[in-house]
Each structure stands twice: as structure tokens, then as C-alpha cells.
Amino acid sequence: MSGPLTPSQYWFDFIESVSGKTDHRWIFRGQDDASWPLVPGVGRSNKTGPLGYRRDDERTWFDEFKAEALRFHSEITTDMELLALAQHHGLPTRLLDWSTNPLVAAWFACEDEKSPANARIHMIRTTLTGIKLKSDFKPFDEDMADVVLVRVPPRASRITAQQGVFSVHSHPVEAWLPDPARNKAIAQYETFDIPASEKPFFRSVLGIMGIDESRLMGGLDGIGRNLARTYSNRNA
């Protein structure tokens, strides 16, 4: 970064868009590439390997994570909470992360500011009963609806920092289109695209607002990543 960035009309458009979403029923998800479908990690071909997705394998890897995780988080005991923890520690799961904070979604959309792809922010207005607040929700229930929105108790620091909500996908290989006509949890669905050229500006302004790795990732890894970015972007 060679000098100060020019104020972006896209930033003002983004702020105008989210400023009208203040009834506390909206959730947001940022993706680095606008062409990516809403498919959770465990169903993506770049995660499944040549054998593809198999439900039994998904459950096996989760059970192994759970056995290890309880050594570090004995207070987290339900499958839903442990699956959320696994998601935030790199295990491909049937979850997608959403946030009640649109600035958090914007940060994830622009996390890789050198990416050549345009980013996209997905925005869902939930119905009054759209988000389940049950930590004991069973994410592997065979009778679960296609996609369910769930919030878990704020026990893990990253989930708390990111003001997290999760969509739980019973068919994780299928691309999801949040459709109010098909899902009772959804009242409205919109998207906002950010051109690749605007990502550095978004990241810089979000950093001024305190939305950065040290806040969102938690622990020393987030602090280290934030300092590394500051180091690489210094201009004096």
C-alpha cells in the first residue's frame, strides 16, 4: 500500500444498504468470491477429496474432534456447540457462519484483499421465530429440515467475537439459495457485491472501526495476523 486510499462509493453504498437493516432480524455472511455458492465446507469438492462427501465419514471426523476437544473445553458438551467449535478450528462441517454484525461479514468478504475476485455479502432477514436459540439442537438429526438457523451460547471466544449464527445444512453438498418461499426462517434475502479493487479500502476502514484479526479470531493467532498485516502495509 503506497499511500492513503481514496474514499469509495461502494463503501458508502454498503453503509446505506445495511443502515436500513436495524430491526435486529438480519444476519450477514461475507464470501471472498461472489461466484461461490452457499455450500458448507464438508460438502465442497476441494475439501472432500477424490472420494467425495459421505455422511458416515462426516460423523466419524466430528466424533474424533469431539473426543479431543473435550480435553480443552469440558464445559462444552452438546453436539451443536461442539460442531460450532469445530467449524471455528478448521474442521470441515455442515455449518456456514453468519453474523448479526454486517461489518464482520464485510471483513470476511475482504479478508484476502489481494484476491482478484469480486466479493459478496449475503444478507438474510429472518422471521420472528427464524433463529433457534437451542444449544442442544441436534445437527445430525435425520429428520432435520434442509437448512436451519441456530445460535449457540457464547462460550467460545471466536463465536462471541464474530456475533455468530450458523446455518445447519442437512444436505451439505447442495448449494443453498435462501428462499423465503421455501424456508419459514427467512423473510427476505439480498446480496451486496464488492469489487476486488475495493477490498483494500474496505479492510482499512474496517480496521479503523476495530474489525480486524485480533478481534475476530481471538487469541494470539489473531493478534499475530493483525500485526503482520500492519507490518506489510506500512507506508512510512
pLDDT, mean of residues 210-226: 63
Is residue 16 included in any domain, yes or no?
no
For residue 54, give the C-alpha cell. 459421505
Q: Please, what is the average pLDDT of the chain?
A: 86
User: What domain range is 190 assigned to?
Assistant: 25-232
Exposure string of 203-223, with b = 16+ CB inside 10 Å and e = fewer, is: bbbbbeeebbbbbbbbeeebe
Tell me, what's the pLDDT at 198?
95
Residue 152 phi/psi, 5° resolution?
A: -110, 160
Q: Does residue 13 sit within a domain?
A: no
Residue count (the chain): 236
Query: Which of 86, 115, 138 has its CA nearest to residue 194?
Result: 115
pLDDT at 232: 57
Half-sphere exposure (Cβ direction) of 130: Cα atoms closer than 13 Å: 24
99 falls within a domain:
yes
| In-domain check, residue 1 | no
**Cβ contact 124:180 at 8 Å:** no
Q: Which residue has the higher pLDDT, 102 or 153?
A: 102
Which one-letter amino acid corresponds to residue 158?
A: R
Domain count, the chain: 1
Confidence tier at 2 by pLDDT (50, 70, 90): very low
- Mean pLDDT calculated for residue range 63-84: 88
Confidence of residue 14 (pLDDT cuts 50, 70, 90): very high
Residue 189 grid cell? 434475502
DSSP state of 198: G
Residue 3 maps to a domain? no
Confidence of residue 118 (pLDDT cuts 50, 70, 90): very high
Averaged pLDDT, 210-222: 67
Is residue 187 situated within a structural domain?
Answer: yes
Average pLDDT over every residue of 181-193:
95
In the chain, beta strands by DSSP E? 26-31, 95-99, 119-126, 131-132, 147-150, 164-169, 186-194
Mean pLDDT on 155-175: 77
Q: For the ranges 72-76, 97-101, 231-235, which has the lowest average pLDDT? A: 231-235
Residue 106 has pLDDT above 90, yes or no: yes
Residue 57: which of 43, 67, 69 has the closest Cα? 43
Give yes or no for a contact between 148 and 88, defined as CB atoms under 8 angstroms apart: no
The predicted pLDDT at position 159 comes to 55
The answer as to whether 110 is a domain residue is yes
Percent of the chain with pLDDT over 90: 58
What's the pTM?
0.86
pLDDT value of position 224:
47
Q: What does the buried/exposed string (b/e) look like for 111-134 if buried means 16 or more CB atoms within 10 Å of the residue's CB?
A: bebeeebbbbbbbbbbeeebbbee
pLDDT tens, position by position, 125-164:
999 888 987 778 999 998 888 999 998 876 655 555 456 7
pLDDT tens-digit map of 28-43: 999 999 999 999 999 9
In this structure, is residue 60 part of a structural domain? yes
